[in-house]
Amino acid sequence: MKQGYSAHFNYFVMIYLPLIFRLRAAVSRLKGGRHMSLAE
């Protein structure tokens, strides 16, 4: 059961981590890099 969870987590990371980074880059570019407290 733990192995299945680990595989699912790896899939989640592979899909959503680049998505989150692109989203943060787009938001920071949109706001001019002033407010970086979105994810922190």
pLDDT digits 0-9 by tens, 22-32: 999 998 888 88
The Cα angle at residue 7 between residues 24 and 18, in degrees rounded to 5: 15
Q: Give the pLDDT score at 36.
A: 55
Per-residue confidence at 15, pLDDT binned at 50, 70, 90?
A: very high
Between residues 13 and 34, which one has the greater pLDDT?
Answer: 13
Provide mean pLDDT across the span 3-27.
Answer: 89
**Which two three-digit tokens encode residue 17?**
């981590």
Between residues 35 and 22, which one has the greater pLDDT?
Answer: 22
Residue 2 has pLDDT above 80, yes or no: no
